[in-house]
Amino acid sequence: AQSVAQPEDQVNVAEGNPLTVKCTYSVSGNPYLFWYVQYPNRGLQFLLKYITGDNLVKGSYGFEAEFNKSQTSFHLKKPSALVSDSALYFCAARGFGNEKLTFGTGTRLTIIP
């Protein structure tokens, strides 16, 4: 069975500081990893994905994520946080040949002006 863990329910970061939202996963075989963002009363919006290749992937709105196979992690990062980055962030994973996309429990990111 595949699973995703986001150990922090809430992350607070001052505007302009770097941010990290943590994610670890467990899937069979090679993982396909995704980050989504959810604003209030909105659907999930795709940010970025790791399929293969470079461990550092870049996505929308200046976000990037680092895949670490040995630590089974896929942490979301941004060098300089904006107040508009405040939202709920979900990490998701699926294994090869599996349609089911499994989500973590979400991390609420709050950027403090």
Partner 1 sequence: AAGVIQSPRHLIKEKRETATLKCYPIPRHDTVYWYQQGPGQDPQFLISFYEKMQSDKGSIPDRFSAQQFSDYHSELNMSSLELGDSALYFCASSLNTGGFGNTEAFFGQGTRLTVV
Q: Which residue in 32, 36, 30 sits closest to 6, CA to CA?
A: 36
The minimum distance between CB 17 and partner 1, in angstroms, equals: 26
Answer yes or no whether residue 102 interacts with partner 1 by CB under 8 A: yes
Per CB under 8 A, does 44 bind partner 1? yes
Contact segment (CB under 8 A) with partner 1 among 13-21, 36-44, 67-75, 78-86 equals: 36-44
Question: H helices within the chain, ranges in order?
Answer: none
As measured in angstroms, the least distance from the Cβ of 48 to partner 1 is 9
| Burial degree of 22 (CB within 10 A; 0-12, 13-18, 19+) | middle
58 phi, psi to nearest 5 deg: -110, 145
Q: CB 49 → partner 1: shortest distance, Å?
A: 5
